[in-house]
Each structure stands twice: as structure tokens, then as C-alpha cells.
Structure 1
């Protein structure tokens, strides 16, 4: 069996495994316009292979169902019409079992295509893009599901077992970096998205980066110090946003009888002071950094510092604590929470989007978004890399997003 076929099977099976503990009702509901039902994720990732691989390369191609081309298109205008994103939760039909049958049929056809394809670089590259795309949706399946379950007054758990206790947290150290010309962006073999290229030089002034992420205990101190009530700490748009939405603490936190708890995929858990604070917007991250006498890093600073570690972490349902990191090492660069940077999401010098409909994958979103770096506990194994550029608008909170502080020297 060729390596890509084995990888195809493993990625596709993991998506099905993530959905396996859920009821059909769990898989159908959409909790907000920014999230999608699990059933839609399962269908859309299959639509990608049917539309971009089978339709182009399969002899005597016939779609599984003609209506799926519109129903499960996400944002590819070059492919044709789309079902409105906020209405994905209204699609009660096809049922979950029909979506699973869709996946099984497309998988059989894709496996036959891969066995017959040989070494066709363009097609194999497109298959890898589809697998990376599905891994992105695996992370979204977990974060969208977490938001959905949090809307239920029963606060049900995705997995009943509690997460293991986090080890005691060491004080954060400041790792210093001299001013220099650095190179950022993808280079060498291996997959990357088009927004990670071209590799280019940037000058960074001397700076220091915190050796770990901001913890729940540290962010709780900001909350208890009146951080959400101090206009001086907030960007103007952020101040208007938290007041319009009456925000006083992170998204999944709650306080009852003076005791703080956090909703997780394991259900409601006591707030663990040793774990990183997550589900924070850019506005919250920026305000905390000001309160702490620091700032957020630029993406060039983050990538330069990240070259000191290659521990990409392992997937989990809740971010682990940093423990006692070795001196001079950067902890939690990967595998805990995506880390906000102060860099607006924009093209690198010389950037060229991919040709055709796939050129819509990243480039057209380069407006009103901020770059996040690293990976989260929900990022699938093998999906993280040093040059990865995630991006979200400044108010996004439903992803596993956290804070790493920086200082200018």
C-alpha cells in the first residue's frame, strides 16, 4: 500500500472517529453562524475530494448526489453556488447515515484513484491539500462541538472522563533575542499552504518572549483586578465590543459562590490554575498584555523564537499545563493553544495565491484578521509546523486561543 493511501485512510478514519460518540441530533445542530454542524464537516471534507479530485480525474465521473455540489460547498465561488453558511443547521436532510454513506462511497472511489494514479505530482499534491484541509476541519469539529454543548443547560460532556491533573506551574521566564535579520515562511520539503510562502527576510529589534503561555491563575488575577472594567487597557473597538456584550471574563468561565469553573469537552470542571487561559479574543489578549506591562509578539518574533523547539505536542481535548520547562526552552509553542500575534493577516512579499478555485483558500481572507501561531490541543497530530499561519477576526473566542507575552528590549 502506498504511503499516501495509508495517510488518506488514517485521516478519513479519524474524522469518523471524532463523530462516533455523538448522536444524530448532536451532529445536526448549528450553535452560531461561525460554527458548523459535525454532519456538515463530514460532508464538506468529502465534497472536497469529490469536487477537486474525482470530478477532474475519475473516468466516467458521476456525483454521489447532484445537489451536494451546492449544499456542501463552503466558500469556493469558482466552483459555483453555495448554501448560506448561517443556515447549515437547517439541513436536516440528508441524514447522518446518508452523509456517512457519501463518505464511504467517495473513499472507495478515491482509493481506487490513488491506486491507479501512480506518481502524478499535480494530483498527489491536491490529495495532500485535501488531507490537510480535512485536518483543519477535525479541529473545527471539536471546537464547534464544544460551543454547541456549552449552549445546552445540562452542560453535557463529549467525553465523561476528567482530564489528568496539570502539574504545578513554574514561573514564566523571559527568553531574550538579539536584534537581527530573520527569515520566516516555509522552506524545504513538506506541505505548506500558499499563505506560508514565499520565505523572506524581516528585521526584528531585540525582544523577549515569555517561556510559556499565560495561565488561568494569571488571567484570573486580571479579571479580579477589574481588567474588564478598565477602559485604559482596551483598544477602542474592543472596549465597545465587551460593553455591548456585557463581557466580564473568558468565554467558557463561570463563577458560582465564589468558585470559578470552566466548561470543557470533559464537561464543567473546576478552573485549573496551572492550565493555560484559552478561548480568548484578540481584544482580551491585547488588554491582558497591557495590564501585564507587556505586549503580544509579532509573527516574525514568534517564528524566530519557535526555532528553538520542535516539540509539536499531541492532540488532547483540553490544553495541558506547562509544568517546569527546562531552562532556556520555550514551552507550549505547540499543542496547547493558538497564540495571538499583533500581526495583521496580510500577504508575504511576493505572495501568489494558488491558481483556480483553490486560490480562494487563504488569500481572499487577508482583511480584518490577525495571525495566530503554533497549534492547539485540538490540532491533529502531524498538522502543526513552524510556518503555519492561522487567522481569525479580533472577536473570535470559540477556538483554543491563548496568550504568549512579549517585550521590547
Structure 2
């Protein structure tokens, strides 16, 4: 049994959090590979170390002294080391980094040092080997990860060892440091789990898994105990704050379970994500796995008599939108009508020129734009096995005076999506939660 663990910034914030991480790792001998983020905030008013490193780089670019900010970073890590009575020789490394900053350093290399120093300290604290990510995580020239080369390198360097790996960065072909986008330590952890064919990838953060609805809308929503990768993708697309897509893909490709856990509540099982669950496990679960949504959509409805019998009309429509860089989120249609659900923010600057092109090229009978539309989705793998689910959803919304402006559902019956007026958005989510979850 092998478990790969990733700990986020809140888990690495100070010596007290380091102690929690050690207790978690020591409690299970299968937890042999640990990936860490840079130290995060200790309180609401505190700073993430990565933010401070970006600030240092900005100061360097404008010729402004960054000594005060750099000292904050240095002091933070030295404080963790000293409180834990470690012997990691950080002073010399910080001095060398400061000299390199004066000579010239890339932004990626500078901001990657937050994870680097955090991993050095954690390796010392756990008694594990430190394995620098530049030794195995390989980027191609176009900035994508070379998975075959990276996987082979990690298998070779980590085999039979207990290691701590800094997240967020790897190496370009020339050896220079390359970082992911923010939150990239999750991706590092997923890549490590996939490379080593881990039995479980545990992602430790400051929440006990995913919730069934946004807690800003629904009071104390229930946690999601089990969710499939397909359901997770649906909830993520519709607006739920879940994992970065790059975190999911490597472990999903290898069919490795992903467990979201809380460092501050280590006994909580969190959320388990798998490709599928056996049906007996589903017997007593809620019909709906999660409810999510987004506001601020516009709906462009195009009507043309005989549209359904004319080949290529939909292609013409989509080509016009592509010309303006507009992505279509949903595409409900009728016999002679098609509706394009698009982001209002993206379409507003180019709306009238785009409508003009549609009018000129398609010569429709009418084009109508509806603003202030919100999308609400009920997602659940079990809905396909329960007849009448969509009818119940529509009935509950109607009983509460919420007018449904649009309906769409995929053939796999994994989700039921409705469009409502923006003013009904929060109420629609609460109605669905109260009707199907409480």
C-alpha cells in the first residue's frame, strides 16, 4: 500500500501546523511520499509566502528595495525551524538566494523557493529524504508537462524511499525552473501519485472535503462523502469551487482514488473521489450529489423557419461566435430555434458586431437577447436510476414561484440544468437543497 499526500499552504503555515502534518504522516506507514506547498496564512490578516515572493520580484523589476519583504520570508521559515528544533541550514541558502536576486533571477525560480524551503524543513522534521522537483518533473518547451519522462524519473529517484517533494514547480529542458499556475502544488501531488501508481492520493487542506452546496447560499450544507470524477467535473464546470482540472486528470487516468482531507480534523473521512462506486454503496445516499450554479449569463436566441432542415446552420452560428472568441456554455434548441447561453461578461463588448454578423450570414427571422440569466444544476449519478427526478425538480421550483427559463439535460442523466432569472439564483439553490437533501 502506498499513499501520496499533498499538504496545502494552511497546513504548512507555522510550527503548530507542521506538528499536525507529522502526526498525520506518522499515523500510517503507507504515507511515504509527501508533497508540500509554501507556508500559507496563519491568520486572516497574514500573508502567503508565495505572495511575498511575487512581491519581491516586482520590487526587483522596478528597482525598489525588497529587503523588508525578503526578511519577512526568511524570518518565517527560520522561526518554524527553530520552534521545531531542527538543524536545516537555511541561513546559507537564503544568503545565496539573496545574492542571486541581485545578479538576476527569473520570476519562476524566485517564487518557487516558498515550496523549496517548506519541503526542506518538512523533510528534516519527518526524517524523510528531500527530493527536489527539478530532479523529476519535466516540462516541454511549450510549457506542458512531459508525463512519460517525469513518471520514469520519479519512479527511478523515489523507489523504496520516504520522500518530501516541493510542489508547484519543475524543470524546463535547459534545467531552468518552471512553475505551474497558482495552486499548482495540487498538480504536483497528482502527478506524483500517478507516476508511482499510488493506491490513494490524499489532498490535505483546511476543509473536510466538498460540500453539497455553497455555504454562502445554504446554511451548513452537508459534506459530500463520495463523488465520481464525472460528477466532480460537472460541478466544477457549473461553478463549484473544487479542484484544478490539472489535479484530477493524472489520477483519473490511472483510476487512483482521490481523498480530500482536513489537516485540522484528521479523523474526518473527508470526500472520496473515484471513477465509480459499486451500487450497494449508493443505497442510502442522497439522490443528488451536489448543487451548484453561476450567474451573469446572456442567452442569444435565433429563430429561422426551416432551420432544422438546413445543413450547416449550427456550424455557421458557432463559426461567428468563434470569430469573436465567445465560448458557448449551453446550447438548448427547438425545431427552428437555437439558443446560445454565453457569459455576459465576455459577450457584452462585442455583442452588437457579432449580432450583425449573425444577421448578415444567417438571415434569421429573429434574434433575441435575454440578459441576467443564471444557471443552476443538480448533479448526481443516481438520478438516472430514479424515474421522475426532473419532474420533481421542476415542480419544487414552480411551487416556490421560480420561473424556469431554460432546461437542458445530457443523455447520461448525470445532471439537470435549469436557467432562471438572476434574481432567483440563490433561492433556486436553497429550494433544491431543502427539497432533495434536508
TM-score range, shorter chain: under 0.3
> Where is the strand percentage greater, Structure 1 or Structure 2?
2
Q: TM-score, normalised by structure 1?
A: 0.26
Higher CA-based Rg: 2
TM-score where L is the length of structure 2? 0.25
- Structure with the larger helix share: 2
Q: Which has the higher contact order (CA 8 A, sep 6+)?
A: 1
